[in-house]
Structure 1
């Protein structure tokens, strides 16, 4: 484990912690819980950095694409930028049209964490979000632990609040298994272990309807070339400008199990995603536009990376038939996701 201080943001230190072994290496930033790099050994014995990102930590501040960051307090879109718990309504920042997205401009993606603990194969980051931050009720004490085993990076999320609130934490890494990131993920093969997905409206917010993947471009159960699906003549695919949808995982909710699998175009590297979350947001980098410069000078164009955001269903606070996202005061929130190579 290597640990270094990179600078300051306000009164908070920004640190980088590098966890590594013979097969994997992960560089974690305390700002935004960023996975700055994730290097994996492919079948030919070469290392590939499989995530998009920036060389300078300052480029992660106030970015509009959430590249490589933790998302909280609540992932995805909340329609109308408000929600109710009991008889009280809470108003959030409307940072995407009329909706609230990914915790707003001061969400965890744009927040410094402190390094609470670090060891040879793990680091734990902590953030105490005060009552009312971003419009959310309750002081939320969040810890995120990244741990490295021989073949996998695991992320454990825990949180506790002193008031009833909503929580839905995830990670927004953009994966590209090609070694170089000046191309796209369109020739990579994606498998998603889901029989259904949640419908979106014109603003990409959830309608509350759960649709079967059978007979649609969203049927990825047997492995599909991403480029064969994102341009499909399908109303839902057009609304998302590609994959921008929550998949309802086939495994039982709360059970740790398979989520998705991604394989490089040359077949030399495969990543398997496992989680105890009930859903995964598959986003194919549809809004990347070439304006961002990556770690090796690449211009991140449309479809440069694929996000696999394990999560509770989007906007679940408005749909009682979705798994609940209300966290009761004093109750412990705990989720985990594993990326294996």
Structure 2
């Protein structure tokens, strides 16, 4: 293992595994002066672990994932599409019937989620090997810069898309994810990070006791195939009202057609104050550990997912399995199916433009 160090923040590198008998997959560990650390591998840009202190300063891993590269690439595990910790692209979330049009030309994508396209296709950004172009550490932060060229018509998307994602961990226990992309043809893009959190640090415990807030007055209802209906629905007097903190489990089993369609929460919320740029989007608090996660973003939406499809078949990092609802995702993004929904904010990227968005995950205790 090699370590680059300057004062208090460090970044180190080791080999996580070998793919296809030849491709070395490296893992980078960013660590700050408070002992928080995040491990990221070049396969999928995946966060394999994220260790943060609890209220007693006990440092534990709070994201779901696997212990080995083999597990991340094993078709037996990936067929259920957990996307643990991965970078998602070109398009996060669902596109109806795997197709969209630009300037009258129709583009067809893989339908890898029943009748719909999900998270970039059969081999999205979560399954490619990213290139590390820069590592940096100084007295307050450590950064890792990953790049990937998605070639024209890869997974059906037009344009050569040059993508850069920068992970930065600072001494305030903040993990920043900064996304950039450029294209040589008109295209669509919607990138996100797909970590599953369990702030207890104990993956055998469901996340139903976590107290969540989402800064949104509306959410996006879905049809029976999990595609947006095109409406924006007020959260008032619905199980989707998280404007004041409430436990995940409080309303998740309520008799509600939207919860039945998602098998729980698997919806995009319309974040408030979209003209303000970076702002608080959501929080999650686990009372026993005292850990508090605050998510800040400049995106218009956030997908809150309560791991409704985990069923005890995937091995956990603690020697057990990941049971039903043992993790939650807060995926900052544009709305699902935006290319086919004329009233949703645009996800089009033109040549000469730069796609740029940022999300930060701030950890503390109370």
Whether these two folds match at TM > 0.5 is yes
Aligned to 1:109: 126
Following superposition, the deviation at residue 106 of structure 1 comes to 0.5
Aligned mates of 1:5, 1:16 — CA distance in 2: 6
Aligned to 1:73: 90
Following superposition, the deviation at residue 7 of structure 1 comes to 3.2
Question: Is the aligned partner of 1:3 residue 2:3?
Answer: no
SS at match of 1:228: coil
Unaligned runs of 5+ in 2: 1-10
Question: Is the aligned partner of 1:38 residue 2:50?
Answer: yes
TM-score (norm 2): 0.91
Identify the match of residue 67 of structure 2 among 49, 55, 72.
Answer: 55
Aligned mates of 1:163, 1:197 — CA distance in 2: 32
Comparing 154-163 with 4-13, greater Cα deviation is found at 4-13
Aligned to 2:281: 259
Comparing 233-242 with 251-260, greater Cα deviation is found at 251-260
Q: What does 1:185-224 align with in structure 2 at a 5 Å threshold?
A: 185-224=207-246
Q: Is the 8 A contact 1:114 1:127 kept in 2?
A: yes
SS at match of 2:249: helix
Following superposition, the deviation at residue 183 of structure 1 comes to 1.4
Aligned mates of 2:131, 2:307 — CA distance in 1: 29
Q: Is the 8 A contact 2:213 2:242 kept in 1?
A: yes
Q: String of CA shifts for 1:53-96, please: whole Å, max 9, x gaps.
A: 11102222252211110110001000010000001000000111
Q: Is the 8 A contact 1:72 1:109 kept in 2?
A: yes
Question: Is the aligned partner of 1:136 residue 2:136?
Answer: no
Aligned mates of 1:111, 1:122 — CA distance in 2: 20
Q: What does 1:1-341 align with in structure 2 at a 5 Å threshold?
A: 1-10=11-20, 12-23=23-34, 24-61=36-73, 62=75, 63=78, 64-120=81-137, 121-150=142-171, 151-253=173-275, 255-266=277-288, 268-341=290-363
Q: Is the 8 A contact 2:17 2:68 kept in 1?
A: no
Q: Is the 8 A contact 2:212 2:242 kept in 1?
A: yes
Q: String of CA shifts for 1:154-186, please: whole Å, max 9, x gaps.
A: 000111111000000001100000111111101
Aligned mates of 2:151, 2:186 — CA distance in 1: 13
TM-score (norm 1): 0.98
Following superposition, the deviation at residue 267 of structure 1 comes to 5.5
Runs of 4 or more, structure 1, over 6 Å off, are none
Aligned mates of 1:45, 1:67 — CA distance in 2: 26
Aligned mates of 1:84, 1:13 — CA distance in 2: 38
Aligned mates of 1:298, 1:122 — CA distance in 2: 32
Aligned length: 341
